[in-house]
Amino acid sequence: MTDPDRTDLEPVSEAGALVRPYVITRGRDLPDEGTFALITLVTTSTDEQQRPQRLSPEEQQILEMCSSGYLSVAEIAAHTQQPLGVVKVLLSSLAEGGYLVTRAPVPSARLANKTLLQEVLDGLKALSV
């Protein structure tokens, strides 16, 4: 899971591996929220010999879906019709296995710099003409 574009330097929480989906489906959230935000973009890593041997059907489904391009975490949850919390757990375990490449969003609104806002504005203006 090497991603040169990752800007958040928070240490990866070990708790992710300990939290099982059944916990999540009872309404709890992963502690390492920053890794998989709603708009973190995800795709499969190109390293094919990493092909998983023992993945759950749900994990395989996600890998298959992500193999054709980038999707956000929210989109993966919507397409698989799994609750967000469950999807985050599955993504987290897949990422730990090296199957996924993730592109984290801008970590905080406060860091949204002038250039970014200007680009958003320009993009919107282009739509309105």
Partner 1 sequence: MASRLSLSEDAYVRSGAQQTAVKILVVGHFAVGKTTLIGSLSEIAPLSTEEQMTSLSENVDDLKGVQGKTTTTVALDFGRLTLSERIVLYLFGSPGQQRFVNLWDDMARGALGALVLVDPERLADSFEVMDLVESYGLDFAVAINQFDGGTVHTPEAVREALDLLPDTPVVTIDARDKASSVNALITMVRYLQKRAALEHA
Tell me which residues touch partner 1 (CB under 8 A). 25-29, 33, 37-41, 43, 56-58, 60-61, 64-65, 68-72, 74-75, 77-81, 83-85, 103, 105-109, 112-114, 116-128
Which of 52/69 has CB closer to partner 1? 69
Whole-number Å distance between alpha carbons of 41 and 71: 5
Considering the complex, state which of residue 72 and residue 97 has its C-beta at the smaller distance from partner 1: 72
Nearer to partner 1, 50 or 56 (CB): 56
Q: Which two tokens stand for residue 74?
A: 């929210």
Least distance in Å: CB of 76 to partner 1? Answer: 9
Q: Count of alpha carbons within 13 Å of 89, Cβ hemisphere only?
A: 21
Q: Evaluate the CA torsion angle 56, 17, 51, 39 in order and state its sign.
A: positive
CB of 116 to partner 1, least distance (A): 7
Nearer to partner 1 among residue 64 and residue 96 (C-beta) = 64
Q: Please, what's the b/e burial string for 36-73 (b: 16 or more CB within 10 A of its CB; e: otherwise)?
A: bbeebbbbbbeeeeeeeeebeeebebbbebbeeeebbb
Closest distance between partner 1 and the C-beta of residue 50, in Å? 19
